[in-house]
Amino acid sequence: MRWGRLAAANYRGVSLPRILGIWLAASGAASALAVAVVRHVGAAGWGALTGALLVFAAGLLDDLSPVGPRGLRNHLRFLVAGRMTTGILKLFVAVGASVVIVALQPPRETIVWLAGIVLLAASANVWNGLDVAPGRALKAFLPVIAVVIAVWPPVAQVPLLPGIAIGAVPALALDLRERAMLGDGGSNLLGLAAGLGLYAVLPGWAVVVAALVAVALNVLADTVTLTRAIQACPPLRWLDRAGRLRPSA
């Protein structure tokens, strides 16, 4: 089957469809509808779903566009030069969606509210940076969402999370076996969902800490790169390679 512009070469040069993000977006939407059947989903829940789908759509647009600059700094250089890129559009959408999503959640202190916006937007970009090797972004997402679900988030406020969490399991298998890829749409969606889940369950001080960590990871990704950081840490290097096809496969 030919996938057109949805197809892209992975890290080994194998052409794969970037469709796992579509699966995760559909899983999140189905989850929200299922939750709405059994309990009231208010503005917070529908706002979270709408914002997440917009972030996914902006990432998908970037997937379908010609290859542009890489890295946040390079995108910002293009913006300063008066040239809009789909990467900058993704950033604007992620920040705007984060503002709306957090604003619709139950009120919290101003510093926590601001940290929540940073956490969601920065997490979306972190997971985009992780998605350069099979399974890496999903391996980072599943432990985070497992902790969130263990704490038991207010499902009516984040009704998309159960579906994305469930959908991430088969997506990981397909990603590791190099049958399909997340693409920017899928990785941005994972990051936003992870940030939203943490914002929903963490106390205020921990939201601030998580936001600072997300910002630090963005700086690391744009300087040292996340791949070099992972390769320099033996446990992370082992986890990163676990389940991946051998280069000769």
Q: Is the pLDDT of residue 8 over 80?
A: yes
Residue-level pLDDT at 202: 97
Residue-level pLDDT at 75: 55
- Report pLDDT digits (tens) over 113-138: 999 999 999 999 999 999 999 999 99
Residue-level pLDDT at 243: 94
> Predicted confidence band at 249 (pLDDT cuts at 50, 70, 90)?
very low
Model pTM? 0.92
Average pLDDT over residues 143-165: 95
Residue-level pLDDT at 3: 78
Give the closest residue to 162 by CA, choosing from 182, 181, 176, 148.
148
> Predicted confidence band at 73 (pLDDT cuts at 50, 70, 90)?
low
> Predicted confidence band at 245 (pLDDT cuts at 50, 70, 90)?
confident
Average pLDDT over residues 72-89: 68
- List Cβ neighbours of 165 (8 Å cut-off, separation of 6 or more): 142, 145, 146, 149
Give the closest residue to 85 by CA, choosing from 98, 72, 100.
72
> Which pairs count as long-range contacts for 138-142, CB under 8 Å and 24+ apart, including other chains?
138/168, 138/171, 138/172, 138/175, 138/182, 138/190, 139/172, 139/239, 139/240, 139/242, 140/194, 141/168, 141/190, 141/191, 141/193, 141/194, 142/168, 142/169, 142/172
CB 121 within 8 A of CB 95: yes
Q: Is the pLDDT of residue 173 over 60?
A: yes
Average pLDDT over residues 73-100: 79
